[in-house]
Amino acid sequence: MGDKLKKLKDEASSLYKKGNLEKALAVFNQIRGEDPLDITACQKAGDICKDLGRPAEAIEAYQRVVQVYAEDGLLLKAIAACKLILEIDENHTETQKLLADLYAKKTGRAAAVAQKAGAPAPAEAEAEAELPSIPLFSDMSKNAFIQLMEQMEMKSVLPGEVIIREGDVDDAMFIISSGKVKVTKTAESGEEIVLAHLGDGTFVGEMALLSESPRTASVIAEEETRLFVVSRDVLDQVVKNFPSVKHTLMRFYRQRLLSNLMATSPIFKPLDAEQRKSLIEKFKSREVPANEKILEQGQSGDGLYMLLSGQAEVSAKVNTKREVLAHLKGGDVFGEMSLLHNQPVSANIKTLRKSIVLKLPKRTFSEVISTHPQLLAHITEIANEREKLTKAIAEGKMRFSDEGLVVV
């Protein structure tokens, strides 16, 4: 970058931060004159014109952003700029046509430059530039894609801003158009665990949206980030017209749940990454409706179970009376006592809402603990704590309430 351009960019940023929008706009436009491909200057000019109530100028700047991103094959970023235009003028026919063109986009600027120079286009530029690898897009026809683009909202967040808060219940998922976020979860110890850093083209929040349950993790912007917002109403309409979208999202949903589980569940803590992956692949999964029994007191134990998502109730007959012993959440294991003691199941396990349950069959469990004694020690510790709890309830020293276990 030349010294002149660097000075102009520093000046524009300083003016913008101070709120001197008119002067900042003049400098950003000067930068655009010096370098027509400077996306940041075009984007900022569009944002400022929008804030100043000058829609025609904002649209002109955003159109340049769309053009450059489209030529680079950065389709998601180009689509986001189209959305900004449609937020200003929802009937902007030129942009609606441009969305259709983006869907069918076949070459990026690399191919055009190569062709002008008389050189063959690079192999990757010859192929059709695929839509971002987001299930919501990849399974859709052109018309459905354009309809979704028009219905989705755009949102901008600043570094440190919480996009999704663990434990909240809401009805939207987000697709990152540009920027970077971190996904975090609070461990039982209270420690914040960073599950992932995500950038352009990834989506977050689909887990709670699909399971209709509280958010299982927080998502926080690490830099200035633009997001597509897909509400439940919009998603329901898409799924109604294109059922395969739901199946694809569910597959991603389960993969992300498993990834979170391996990062946070104590049962996997003694294992390295490769051992965790190997162990989780041995579990079989199934979806269980609400209010359905998974295990029944007295039946033969047939495996180690783990709740991947949802919620379940543990109850047992104690002194001829049915007692609720605990509520299970994602990551909790059960069925371990009958396996360790080779005895019938000691409690009833019933789902309280739709859940995904993992099962490690009895024979596989025996093989696993023979090669991973640290797992046997951890599972034995869980079983011992549960036996103490059941004994305390039987003796009337403790009881389970809506707030959890309480001492009587």
Per-residue pLDDT of the chain (408 residues; tens, 9 = 90+): 578 888 989 999 999 989 999 999 999 999 999 998 899 999 999 999 999 999 999 999 999 999 888 888 787 888 888 888 988 988 888 887 777 777 665 433 333 333 333 433 333 333 334 444 565 666 667 777 777 777 888 889 999 999 999 988 888 989 898 899 999 998 877 888 998 899 887 888 877 777 677 888 899 999 999 899 988 888 888 888 888 777 777 777 777 778 878 877 877 877 888 888 888 888 898 989 999 999 999 999 899 999 988 899 999 888 788 888 889 988 889 999 899 888 999 899 999 988 999 999 999 998 888 888 888 888 888 888 888 888 888 787 877 776 666 676
pLDDT for 280 equals: 86
pLDDT for 289 equals: 93
Gap between the Cα atoms of 374 and 266, Å rounded: 11
pLDDT for 317 equals: 86
Residue 242 token pair: 């294109």
Gap between the Cα atoms of 25 and 119, Å rounded: 39
CB 205 within 8 A of CB 143: no
pLDDT for 235 equals: 83
pLDDT for 23 equals: 94
pLDDT for 43 equals: 92
Give me the domains of the chain, ranges plus CATH numbers.
Answer: 3-130 (1.25.40.10), 153-263 (2.60.120.10), 274-407 (2.60.120.10)
Gap between the Cα atoms of 13 and 132, Å rounded: 31
Could you tell me which of 221, 219, 261, 249 has the C-alpha nearest to residue 358? 261
Q: Which amino acid is at 331?
A: G
pLDDT for 126 equals: 33
Could you tell me which of 389, 290, 281 has the C-alpha nearest to residue 337? 389
pLDDT for 334 equals: 93
pLDDT for 402 equals: 66
pLDDT for 1 equals: 55
Task: Name beta bridge partners: 3.
Answer: none
